[in-house]
A and B are shown apart, each in its own frame.
Chain A
Amino acid sequence: MKARIQVLACKACTEMPQLLDMDDLMNVASERELVVSSMLVDRVCDPKIIKRVVAEASERDVDRVLVLACQKKDVNPGLLAAYKRAGVNEFMVEYINLRDEVILPHISDKERAQAKAETKAVAGLERLLMLQPLEKAEEVMRTKNVVILGGGVAGRKAAEVAAAEGAHTIIIEKSGSSHKTPGVIMPNSTLLGAKGYGGNFVLSIKAGEKVEELECAAVVVATGGGWAELKGPLAKAFKSAVPLYRLHEQMQTGAVPKGPVVIVDSPDPAGKTLAVQDFAWDDTLELAIDLKKQQPLEEVYVVFQEMRAFGLSELAYKDAAELGVRFIRYDRAAGPKIDPKEPTKLTVKDLAQAEVLTIPIGTLAFAAIPANKDNIGIATALRIPMSPEGGVRRGSIQRWPVSTPRPGVFVCGSAMFPKSKDMAEAEGEAAGLMAGKFVMKGVIEYGGVVAEVAQEKCSACLTCVRTCPYDAPYIGSAGKVEIRIQACQGCGMCAGICPSKAIELRGSTDDQIAQETRTMLGGDF
Chain B
Amino acid sequence: MIVAKRKPMAEIAEMVAPYKTVKVIGCRSCVAICLAGGEKEVKMLVSALRLKAKKEGRKQEFEGLVVERQCEKEWVEEVEGKILDSDLVLSMACSLGAQTIGDMYPKKIVFPALNTGIFGVPEEQGVWSEKCVGCGNCIIHTTGGICPIARCAKSMLNGPCGGSSNGKCEVNLEVDCAWYAIHERLKLQNRLDLIEQVSPPKDWSTSHSGGRRVYVRDDAKLTQHQKKGKEAVR
Q: Which residues of A line the B interface, CB within 8 A?
A: 457, 459, 461-463, 466-467, 497-501, 525
Contact = CB atoms under 8 A, between A and B. Distances in A.
Given A459-B28, A459-B29, A463-B35, A498 B40 contact: yes
Contact of B39 (A497, A499, A525): A499
A197 B33 CA distance: 28
Nearest to B37: A499
Given A499-B33, A500-B28, A501-B43, A459 B38 contact: yes
A459 B93 CA distance: 14
B114 to A, nearest CB: 13
Interface string B96-107: 000000000000
A467 B43 contact: no
B125 interface: yes
Interface string B1-40: 0000000000000000000000000001100110100111
B168 to A, nearest CB: 26
Contact of A500 (B40, B51, B124): B40
13 contacts: A457-B28, A459-B28, A459-B29, A459-B33, A461-B32, A466-B125, A497-B35, A498-B40, A499-B39, A499-B41, A500-B66, A501-B40, A501-B43
A501 B44 CA distance: 11
B contact residues, range: 10 to 19
Contacts of B29: 459
Contacts of A463: 33, 35, 125
Nearest to A495: B40
Nearest to B33: A461
Contact of B32 (A459, A466, A467, A525): A459
Given A457-B39, A499-B40, A501-B40, 14 more contacts: A459-B32, A462-B33, A463-B33, A463-B125, A466-B124, A467-B125, A497-B40, A499-B32, A499-B38, A499-B39, A500-B39, A500-B66, A501-B43, A525-B51
A459 B35 CA distance: 11
A248 to B, nearest CB: 42
A462 B1 CA distance: 14
Contacts of A501: 38-40, 43
Contacts of A457: 28, 39
Contacts of B32: 459, 461, 499-500
A499 B28 CA distance: 8
Contacts of A525: 51
B43 A499 contact: no
Contacts of B28: 457, 459, 500
B38 A500 contact: yes
A236 to B, nearest CB: 31
A440 B66 CA distance: 50
Interface string B61-90: 000001000000000000000000000000
B125 to A, nearest CB: 5
B26 to A, nearest CB: 9
Nearest to B51: A525
Given A459-B28, A459-B29, A499 B125 contact: no
A457 B32 CA distance: 11
Nearest to B35: A499
